[in-house]
Amino acid sequence: MTLFVEGFREALRLIAGGDPLVLDAAWRSLWISALAVLAAGALGTLGGLGLALLRFPGRGLLIALARAGMNAPTVLIGLLGYGLLSRRGPLGSLELLYSPWAVVMGEFVLALPIVLTWTQGSIRKLDHRVFETAITLGLRPWQRARVYLSEARLAIALAFLTAFARCFTELGIAMMLGGNIKERTRTLATATALETSRGDFARGMAMSLLLLLIGLIITLGLGWLNARRREEEE
Amino acid sequence: MIRVTGLRLMKAGRAICALEALEIAAGERLLVGGANGSGKTSLLRILAGLEPQFEGQALGLPERRARVLVHQAPYLFRGDVAGNVALGLRARRLARDEQERRVEELLRAFDLGDLARRSVTRLSGGERRRVALARALVLDPELLLLDEPLADLDVAGRTALEHVLAARPALTVVTASPVAMPAFLAARAIRLG
């Protein structure tokens, strides 16, 4: 028990004192996940809109793939990414392995199915009058797309936040594609794993406390969005 | 002149709307009556172009963009009243000041001037109806399809609609309702079912 108490006390001291290594990992976790979610969000929103509105061969398969992809293990994404980016892989010449960009790419793959599936689902679930009103008012296709996204915006915002939470806390991709290099690719999750295995329990605790704290903020945001969505549906 | 013959709409193996023949003259005010489930709404939807799967013929319909349907329970898009009324106009090639003039005119006609900037989530049922009517009429359609338009309108709202329609003698108006409608919506009536 003292291990926890001591660890907790030390963790608070490290965070409050602004330990450079802790802050460095926290900042990297933030910008890597944010970038991955922004890119996946842009593509996923447009793709989800297309999957919801267009009829084309292979559409059902794509939706099923995206749904399955929501539960893809991060180590699998890490493994496939490693195969692509390692020196002998097809993208090896880019020399991206063990760079933060490799982690961004992996987390992009993690986030994309979440945004795709949620956007597609939320647009399919819109009131049928939304589509009919847009058609009967003679809106142009881009105007219609904007109206649909605007009507589904809360569900899509939820998808962005969920994807961010997933990327921010994941370990497998950051470990396998980033390599946990100090001050270069170390994230809060990989740092926690490292410090704990090294026996520096307090540092591990500090890292995961920060993870928890930011996760908590995201959860509060999710709850707030959900409450607003329910309010609007009534 | 709109000429409908041998119209039938099938849903799940059942004919939900059937009509042998109907002619609607330009500028006519036609009431489509009939019991619940007799296919009134379906007829409006076919005329609006929202049911492309119908059997039979419907000739002489104005082009897609000159027909507007106002639902029985209209759906207003997120945003304010003026934004909803202006939405359809933005899809048409019109000078900006002409758009603004029309929006303002219709807002005034339906006594919505003071509500122009109000969010649609804070409107009463009658106000929502007036916004939906203004949003359709601002497009200056040739064919207006109204599903139960008076359901939640008060006397002032009804009078406003009457004035707006009186000022547009060339507009063809088809109204669906199971109950009687005032003369400005029902110069002629047919029954389905």
Classify the phi-psi angles of A180: left when phi > 0, otherwise alpha if psi is within -120 to 50, otherwise beta: left
Answer whether B44 touches A (CB < 8 Å). no
Is the CATH number of domain B2-191 3.40.50.300?
yes
Residue A205 Cα distances to A213, B15, B27, B79, B123, angstroms: 12, 68, 77, 46, 52
CA closest to B132 among chain A residues: A133
**Would the CB atoms of B74 and A232 count as touching at under 8 Å?**
no
Least Cα separation, residue A133 to chain B (angstroms): 7
- Residues of chain A in contact with residue B135, where contact means CB-CB under 8 angstroms, are 137
Sign of the CA dihedral with A47 first, then A70, A170, and A77 last? negative
User: CA A193, CA A125: separation in Å to the nearest integer?
Assistant: 41
Chain A residue set in contact with B, beta carbons under 8 Å:
127, 129-130, 132-133, 135-140, 143, 147, 150-151, 153, 232
pLDDT tens for A106-156 read: 999 999 999 999 999 999 999 999 999 999 999 999 999 999 999 999 999
Answer whether B50 touches A (CB < 8 Å). yes
CA closest to A134 among chain B residues: B88
User: CA A39, CA A27: separation in Å to the nearest integer?
Assistant: 18
**Would the CB atoms of B121 and A232 count as touching at under 8 Å?**
yes
Classify the phi-psi angles of B60: left when phi > 0, otherwise alpha if psi is within -120 to 50, otherwise beta: left
pLDDT tens for B135-174 read: 999 999 999 999 999 989 999 999 999 999 999 999 999 9
CA closest to A135 among chain B residues: B50
Which of A55, A126, A137 is the best substitution to test chain B (most B C-beta atoms within 10 A)? A137
**Would the CB atoms of B88 and A138 count as touching at under 8 Å?**
yes
User: CA B10, CA A66: separation in Å to the nearest integer?
Assistant: 35
* pTM given for the model: 0.89
**Would the CB atoms of A136 and B65 count as touching at under 8 Å?**
no
Token couple for B126: 């009658």
**Would the CB atoms of B92 and A129 count as touching at under 8 Å?**
no
Nearest to A139 among B49, B79, B91 (CB): B91
ipTM: 0.94
Would you write out chain A's pLDDT as a tens digit for each of its 234 residues? 788 888 888 888 888 888 898 899 999 999 999 999 999 999 999 999 999 999 999 999 999 999 999 999 999 999 999 999 999 999 999 999 999 999 999 999 999 999 999 999 999 999 999 999 999 999 999 999 999 999 999 999 999 999 999 999 999 999 999 999 999 999 999 999 999 999 988 888 888 888 898 888 888 988 898 888 887 766
User: CA A178, CA A234: separation in Å to the nearest integer?
Assistant: 46
* DSSP letter, residue B115: G
**Would the CB atoms of A129 and B78 count as touching at under 8 Å?**
no
Sequence-separated contacts (24+) of A58-64 with Cβ below 8 Å: A63/A117, A63/A120
**Would the CB atoms of A136 and B69 count as touching at under 8 Å?**
yes
Tell me the sheet residues that pair with B188: B30
User: CA A129, CA A116: separation in Å to the nearest integer?
Assistant: 23
User: CA B23, CA A110: separation in Å to the nearest integer?
Assistant: 59
The domain locations on chain A are 2-229
Report chain B's C-alpha Rg in angstroms. 17
User: CA B178, CA B36: separation in Å to the nearest integer?
Assistant: 7
CA closest to A150 among chain B residues: B78
- Mean pLDDT of chain A, nearest integer: 93
The torsion angles phi and psi of B122, rounded to 5 degrees, stand at -115, 45
Which helix (DSSP H) or strand (DSSP E) does residue B31 occupy? Answer: strand B29-33
Could you tell me which CATH class the domain A2-229 is placed in? mainly alpha
The domain locations on chain B are 2-191
Which helix (DSSP H) or strand (DSSP E) does residue B42 occupy? Answer: helix B40-48
Any residues with CB less than 8 A from the CB of A208 and at least 6 apart, and which?
A188, A192
Nearest to A136 among B48, B78, B90 (CB): B48
Low-confidence ranges of chain B (pLDDT < 70): none
User: CA B8, CA B30: separation in Å to the nearest integer?
Assistant: 20
